[in-house]
């Protein structure tokens, strides 16, 4: 099992505390180049600015690169922690399979990419008054290169941290699956509370962020690996950055379209959680033959040493 693999390596609680501390410290260090660049460009005027205004201090492509650099530094630190604090191969915090299944990654990526492009195209042609065409070749293609390289690093950091490292660490500590699923999903969603989208649309959008955490966590546990979640998260964020931006979003990019509508979040925010996300899971379940949902999502995580002891006792 995906979580159970951590028992085979150094999984003491203090190692996870140390590991998380190192990762947090690395993320803070990764923010320094962005902070310096903003201060050099905006001076003391950036103090007290709202987040959406701070995002406009720098050129959008430079801002995007430096923002994503933070997550790249965090990913490097996470891999360092896994390898040198837990002495665990990166593969085993990625998947329970003998090797990483890139076919699963690209299936998850393609599924959300097709959905995002279809929904954006439908809304654009249904409500053209809500959009401005923003295609400018040079800044767009610079942004595209940055996004293709850096966004997968950002999303991989979040997936390896929440659905990989912490899912395994909490799982071997509490010896079940439901608690790490709930905790990592709520914390993942909760960290989005400071996004400008929440300020603009209200706290109700937190249902979407936490629900997305549950979607990615369920993918990981049912499929016994991160591949689908890695691809899905990368596809979602990459297409979001490339297709549409707005002056109230965390990603300020040279996208193809600018959304100029006044966003609201109400009951419609529940549609992705209770309609679209179950559909994604249904498609994946059919393709990969997922079974025994209750056991995979809520079952126990037994120490293999205990299993071997019981087996040897039974045999004797």
Question: Using one digit for the tens of pLDDT, what is the confidence trace for 17-63?
Answer: 999 999 999 999 999 999 899 888 776 666 666 666 666 778 899 99
Q: Report domain extents, the chain.
A: 4-302
Proportion of the chain above pLDDT 90, given as a percent? 77
Task: Give residue-wise pLDDT tens across range 185-215.
Answer: 999 999 988 888 888 888 889 999 999 999 9
Q: How confident is the model at residue 312 (pLDDT cuts 50, 70, 90)?
A: very low
Q: How confident is the model at residue 264 (pLDDT cuts 50, 70, 90)?
A: confident
pLDDT at 41: 79
Q: What is the pTM of this model?
A: 0.92
C-beta separation of 235 from 114 below 8 A: no
Distance CA 306, CA 227 (A): 29
Q: Counting beta carbons within 10 angstroms of the beta carbon of residue 98, is it exposed (0 to 12), middle (13 to 18) or buried (19 or more)?
A: exposed
3-state secondary structure string, 19-80?
A: HHHHHHHHHHHHCHHHHHHHHHHHHHHHCCCCHHHHCCCCCHHHHHHHHHHHHHHHHHHHHH
pLDDT at 201: 85
Identify which has the larger pLDDT, 44 or 300: 300
Task: Give residue-wise pLDDT tens across range 276-292.
Answer: 999 999 999 999 999 99
Task: Identify the helix (H) or strand (E) that includes residue 131.
Answer: strand 131-133
Distances (CA, A) of 227 to 11, 217, 232, 264: 23, 12, 9, 33
Please give the mean pLDDT across all residues of the chain.
91
Q: Calculate mean pLDDT across residues 169-197.
A: 94
CA 182 to chain centre: 15
Identify which has the larger pLDDT, 144 or 304: 144
pLDDT at 299: 95
Distances (CA, A) of 110 to 124, 153, 233: 21, 18, 11
pLDDT at 304: 79
Q: How far apart are the first and last CA of the chain?
A: 27
pLDDT at 203: 87
pLDDT at 314: 34
Proportion of the chain above pLDDT 70, given as a percent? 91
CA 71 to chain centre: 11
pLDDT at 170: 97
Task: Give residue-wise pLDDT tens across range 100-147.
Answer: 999 999 999 999 999 999 999 999 999 999 999 999 999 999 999 999
CA angle 244, 247, 248 (to 5 degrees): 95
Task: Give residue-wise pLDDT tens across range 209-260.
Answer: 999 999 999 999 999 999 999 999 999 999 999 999 988 888 889 999 999 9
CA 17 to chain centre: 21
pLDDT at 52: 61
């Amino acid at each position: 099992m995906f979580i159970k693999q951590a028992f085979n390596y150094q999984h003491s609680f203090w190692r996870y505390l140390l590991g998380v501390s190192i990762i947090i410290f690395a993320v803070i260090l990764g923010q320094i180049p962005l902070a310096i660049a903003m201060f050099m460009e905006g001076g003391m005027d950036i103090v007290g600015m709202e987040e959406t205004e701070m995002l406009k201090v720098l050129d959008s492509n430079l801002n995007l690169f430096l923002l994503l650099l933070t997550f790249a530094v965090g990913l490097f630190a996470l891999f360092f922690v896994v390898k040198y604090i837990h002495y665990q191969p990166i593969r085993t915090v990625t998947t329970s399979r003998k090797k990483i299944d890139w076919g699963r990654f690209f299936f998850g990526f393609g599924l959300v990419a097709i959905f995002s492009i279809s929904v954006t195209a439908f809304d654009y042609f249904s409500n053209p008054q809500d959009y401005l065409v923003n295609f400018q070749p040079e800044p767009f293609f610079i942004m595209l290169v940055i996004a293709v390289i850096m966004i997968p690093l950002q999303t991989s950091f979040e997936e390896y941290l929440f659905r990989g490292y912490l899912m395994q660490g909490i799982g071997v500590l509490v010896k079940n699956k439901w608690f790490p699923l709930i905790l990592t999903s709520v914390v993942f969603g909760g960290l989005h509370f400071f996004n400008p989208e929440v300020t603009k649309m209200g706290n109700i959008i937190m249902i979407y962020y936490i629900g997305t955490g549950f979607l990615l966590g369920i993918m990981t546990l049912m499929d016994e690996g991160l591949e689908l979640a890695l691809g899905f998260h990368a596809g979602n964020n990459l297409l979001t950055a490339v297709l549409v931006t707005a002056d109230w979003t965390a990603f300020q990019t040279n996208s193809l379209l600018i959304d100029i509508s006044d966003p609201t979040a109400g009951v419609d925010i529940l549609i992705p959680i209770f309609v679209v996300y179950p559909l994604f899971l249904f498609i994946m379940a059919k393709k990969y033959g997922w079974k025994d949902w209750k056991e995979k999502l809520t079952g126990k995580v037994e120490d293999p040493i205990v299993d071997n002891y019981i087996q040897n006792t039974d045999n004797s």
